[in-house]
């Protein structure tokens, strides 16, 4: 977790600004964020007045992204991650969430839906055969083109039979 730009306290406020392609990040602790006029939510003023006592208190185990400072609680509120590093930081939490949403799949398995109908499959096959046919004609492979044409006719005839 980054420390405050003004002291060595842990930073709880992270401001990332990109102006004209220049990336500028500011990290502030509770005290310096308060001084800068940033509303950081409920503040434990007792810890600000007695910092020596608060340093011995047990630290919370809330994990924050090292790049943008986002926590898993913030993600759960918005369903949006702050940066690419969040995927690595919250990997253990995200695997469970992705598995619930994606029918227990946690890796990309393709672009087609798992339940396609016969017409969609036939349409995809026809498009694939048309590309092959065009390529065969361009390369003057007329025998291959004739075989592809015949295959396209069979697909067309079988689709007419299914419609009847």
Q: What is the pLDDT of residues 54-107, one digit of tens each?
A: 444 444 456 788 888 888 888 878 888 888 888 888 888 888 877 777 777 777
List the domain boundaries for the chain. Answer: 13-101, 118-163
CA 26 to chain centre: 25
Residue 144 banded pLDDT, cuts 50, 70, 90: very high
- Distance separating the N- and C-terminal Cα atoms of the chain: 67
State how far the Cα of 138 lies from the Cα of 12, in Å rounded to an integer. 63
Q: What is the pLDDT of residues 108-123, one digit of tens each?
A: 666 666 555 667 777 8
Question: 14 and 4 in contact (C-beta within 8 Å)?
Answer: no
State how far the Cα of 13 lies from the Cα of 68, in Å rounded to an integer. 9
Q: What is the pLDDT of residues 5-39, one digit of tens each?
A: 889 888 887 888 878 888 888 888 888 877 777 66
pTM for the model = 0.31
């Amino acid at each position: 977790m980054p420390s405050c730009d003004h002291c060595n306290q842990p930073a709880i406020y992270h401001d990332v600004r990109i102006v004209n392609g220049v990336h500028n990040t500011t990290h502030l602790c509770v005290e310096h964020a308060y001084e800068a006029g940033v509303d950081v939510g409920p503040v434990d003023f007792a810890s600000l007045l007695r910092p020596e006592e608060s340093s011995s208190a047990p630290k919370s185990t809330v994990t924050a992204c090292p790049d943008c400072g986002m926590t898993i609680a913030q993600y759960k509120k918005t369903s949006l991650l702050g940066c690419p590093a969040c995927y690595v930081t919250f990997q253990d939490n995200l695997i469970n969430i992705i598995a619930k949403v994606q029918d227990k799949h946690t890796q990309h398995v393709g672009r087609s839906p798992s339940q396609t109908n016969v017409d969609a499959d036939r349409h995809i096959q026809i498009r694939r055969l048309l590309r092959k046919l065009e390529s065969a004609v361009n390369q003057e492979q007329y025998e291959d083109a004739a075989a592809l044409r015949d295959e396209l006719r069979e697909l067309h005839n079988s689709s007419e039979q299914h419609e009847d």
